[in-house]
A and B are shown apart, each in its own frame.
Chain A
Amino acid sequence: MCEYGPARWDNPRRAGSPVPGAQARYPALSVGPGFDATRFEGTVHSVFARALNIQLDGSRLAALVAPDLPNAPATIRVDLGGAPFHAIAAPGQTAACRAGILRLGHAGNIIDLRQAEAWHPKPPPSSVPGKEAWQSLYAIALSSPRLGVLTEWPGLKICAKAGAFAGLSAAELIPVLASLVGRGPGLTPAGDDFIAGLAAALHWSAQASALARHIPGWALRTTDVSRWLLLDSNSGQIAEPVCDLGAALYGQVDQLPLAADAVMKLGHLSGLAMILGMLAGYAFAWTGLAAPNDIGLAA
């Protein structure tokens, strides 16, 4: 039998496209609640191997991500069959969604959002988490090999002192957090990730008002991607693994390492910073979580 060469120029996943003449169609698996999944328009902002960002006109960033990445407020999970995201779009291209069909570029690829699952963050209970759970998670975070990288960054030393936040008043909290905005390495600076974790914990504890007035101002002082991380977190809109970790603080302690691991996977330092922020937030919101000698800034 003779062999023929592989297709060179075509994407093999060239199956039933609803738009004639288009390149290829990919069904989306799930969509976050942060924007209207039936209609939006914007421009492709940045493209990576396993994700791309779309700058929605006059609004926020939305992300297309590979299916193994977690659900998040403005994320669309889509399976490209192993192809990298560079293969389906380039920065600067138009991205517009009409009646649930997202078209990238002119006569380009299509993401079908019509039957994607609508994901919403599931908030943890709004009561005080278990003290043992909080301590256990704190210990897990402090034992992370990446802790040093985080705390050695100028201005971020306080991130390791989640317990210290237990003794702060609302007035004292604000300048501490303000000093973290935009600080640290990463696409989302670790300082912002810390604030996001903290804000989420406060929101879930029904104490979001402490930060609500300040976050919009802080959001303007950082990167495009981070801006929305902060704004979303203020209303408890945060990536799925973070919600799950929050919920794990109310359950069996032995579930925590797995849940924490899932959050740690969110970027090099982002996950760790969010965990520490969450712990700090819960410590601030409730009494009795942190160990007595951890409390207070002097520690």
Chain B
Amino acid sequence: MSSDLFRADLTVVNVGLGNFADAIDGSGGTVVRTDWRPPAGGDADAAIAVAALINDAGIDAANEIAFAKYLAAQPVLQGVGRAGDSLPGMGERTITHSGPPVAWDEMCGPVKGAIIGAILYEGWAADEAAAGSLADSGEVDFAPCHHLNAVGPMAGIVSPSMPVWIVKNSDAGNMSYCTLNEGLGRVLRFGAYDGEVIERLKWIEEVLAKVMGAALDGLGGIDIKTIMAQALHMGDEVHNRNAAATSLLIKALIPPALRSGLDQSDIAAAIEFIAGNDHFFLNISMAGCKSMLDAAHGVTSSTMVTAMSRNGVEFGIRVSGAGDRWFTAEAPVVDGLYFPGYSMADAAPDLGDSAITETAGLGGFAMAASPAIVQFVGGTPADAILRSREMQQITLGRNPALTLPALNFAGTAAGIDVRQVADQSVLPIINTGIAHKNAGVGQIGAGITHAPMQCFAKAVRWLANNRAAS
């Protein structure tokens, strides 16, 4: 009964005009000031939707279940397989791409270039022009990697003959996949498709994949979270900085590779390749994160984000309780640090499935672990700590298996709650590389970007409208 208000000490939460808080202070009352701004980027309908979802026991119970499944996940790198044989539902003329669904004629430069490269690699067409016509013809099925349990960095193109890492969540049994990282410079994932690129893809298929597969067979699998956890203590955030994780990986793989009985020069070439690519672990990191989040997906009423992804045209998120829906918005062009000679005018809009790392509490969320990356994307180590703390405000919890030394070994904030993003207007932060908008030029910069508010506004509106009566 509201008369209990009269018996208690009055403590006012002030939302709006600051001078009201001053008046309460000045007259000896207690006031909690807020730094309020219109929720969901000023979307009044989304604000009402958030209000309907706040303090709901059913939603909180669902989130508890989803988050627990994410925490319990144990992604294990089991081996390497052929994409066409491993990805469920991958036909022999299927090519998957990063981000939410997008039609061929709307795709951005790097993605189109990568698709052409894949077609040439597969031998479905003889030259660039023929490949382009084939892609345009409708005879190739395009689908988001996410729909086939996979993820891919940048253009994220996967075609049937490509080798993929095979990851199994030993807790819930779900599988996830990712291609092997090609390295830096002129590579397929930035849209390059010349002879060198295709040759390298062949070598990866014929040599690297075999060596990796044999090494993993010898080991019986590698626990991905273990490597991530150690890497976080060694300066990595396992999205844009993977040097320590790659070193740990190679350390584990060399002995079984050497004992595998394969050709020594192949083994040497494979090891050299990995040693020269500090981002080699990224693809494994992404598959591991997807594994953890897929386990949390599909819990009715849960408001936990299970994917954040971009295709160079749109940015999309998926939510555990919203089934297969994508909630999309225009992909932003990143205002970051550009390599000499390049600027924002040259940049492709945000691209890649690698934001799955942030969705799992790594990458930008674990920035406090990686002062080096902060410098690269523009900021100070103190900024990095602030960012990681800020993410605590919009997440369901912290992952005690993945701890950040700079935050006194607190678990990294994980499990983005769409309600909190919309209510507080605090956006999930993403560390990202920036691609040139033309196919094949490569990376031209890096920076910090945020998931667009519109995705979360759409998500809360859908969730409120579809809230099952409890």
The interface of chain A, by Cβ under 8 A from chain B, is: 1-4, 7-12, 14-18, 20-21, 25, 36, 39, 41, 57-58, 99-101, 112, 114-115
Q: Report whether A9 and B63 are in contact in the complex, using a CB–CB cutoff of 8 Å.
A: no
Give B219's nearest chain A residue, CB to CB: A1
Residues in chain A near residue B398, CB distance under 8 A: 10, 14
CA distance A99 to B9 in the complex (A): 18
Shortest C-beta distance, B470 to chain A (Å), equals: 10
The residue that B55 contacts in the complex, of A7, A8, A18, A39, with Cβ under 8 A, is A18
Closest to A6 in B: B400
Find the residue from B7, B229, B398 having the highest chain A CB count within 10 A: B398
Contact of B229 among A4, A58, A101 (CB under 8 A): A4
**B410, CB-defined interface residue at 8 Å:** yes
**Roughly how many angstroms separate A114 CA and B55 CA in the complex, as a whole number?**
10
Which chain A residue has the least Cβ–Cβ distance from B4? Answer: A39
Whether A10 touches B411, Cβ cut-off 8 Å, given contacts A3-B226, A16-B67, is yes
B400: A residues at CB distance < 8 A: 7, 10-12, 14
Q: Could you say which residues of chain B place their CB within 8 Å of the CB of A112?
A: 57, 60
Contact assessment for B55 and A99 in the assembled complex, using a CB-CB cutoff below 8 Å? yes
Say yes or no: is B397 at the interface (Cβ < 8 Å to chain A).
yes
Q: How far is the CB of B404 from chain A (nearest CB, A)?
A: 10
Task: Return chain B residues, CB-CB under 8 Å to A114.
Answer: 57
Q: Is the CB of A17 within 8 A of B8?
A: no
Number of chain B residues close to chain A: CB under 8 A? 45
Residues on B lying within 8 angstroms of A by beta carbon are 4, 7-9, 55, 57, 60-68, 71, 221-223, 225-227, 229-230, 252, 304, 392-401, 403, 408-411, 415, 417, 420, 424
Contacts of B227 in A (CB 8 A): 2
Residue of B with least CB distance to A94: B11
- Given A7-B400, A16-B67, A16-B415, residue A21 in contact with residue B55 (CB < 8 A): no
A residues in contact with B396, CB < 8 Å: 15-17
In the complex, the answer to whether B230 meets A2 with C-beta atoms within 8 Å is yes
Q: Which residue in chain B gives the minimum CB-CB distance to A99? A: B55
Pick from A16, A58, A99, A100: contact of B397, CB under 8 Å: A16
Contact A9:B410 (CB < 8 A) given known A15-B397, A16-B67: yes
Interface contact A8-B8, CB-CB below 8 Å: no
Are the C-beta atoms of A2 and B223 separated by less than 8 Å? yes
CB < 8 Å: which of A7, A21, A57 contacts B393? A21
A6 to chain B minimum Cβ distance, whole angstroms, is 8
* Residues A2 and B57 in contact, CB atoms below 8 Å apart: no
Contact A18 B7 (CB under 8 A): no
Q: Point out the residue from A4, A15, A41, A101 that lies within 8 Å of B226, measured CB to CB.
A: A4
A100 and B56 alpha carbons, distance in the complex (Å): 11
Q: Which residues of A contact B71 (CB under 8 A)?
A: 14-15
Quote the shortest CB–CB distance from A287 to chain B (angstroms): 45
A17 to B417, CA, bound (A): 10
Residue contact B57 to A15, C-beta cutoff 8 Å: no
A14 with B397: CB separation less than 8 A: yes
CB of B55 within 8 A of CB of A10, answer no
Residues of A within 8 A of B229 (CB): 4
- Minimum C-beta distance from A92 to chain B (A): 16
Once the chains bind, are B57 and A4 in contact (CB under 8 Å)?
no
Q: Are A57 and B57 in contact (CB under 8 A)?
A: no
Which residue of chain A has its CB nearest to the CB of B65? Answer: A16
Taking CB atoms, residues of chain B closer than 8 Å to A8 are 403, 409
Chain B residues with CB below 8 A from A3, complex form: 226
Chain B residues with CB below 8 A from A10, complex form: 398, 400, 403, 409-411
Name the residue in A7, A8, A41, A101 with the highest tally of chain B Cβ atoms < 10 Å from its Cβ.
A7
User: A4 to B424, alpha carbons, bound, how many Å?
Assistant: 35
Q: Is the CB of A16 within 8 A of B66?
A: yes
Q: Which residues of B contact A115 (CB under 8 A)?
A: 57, 61
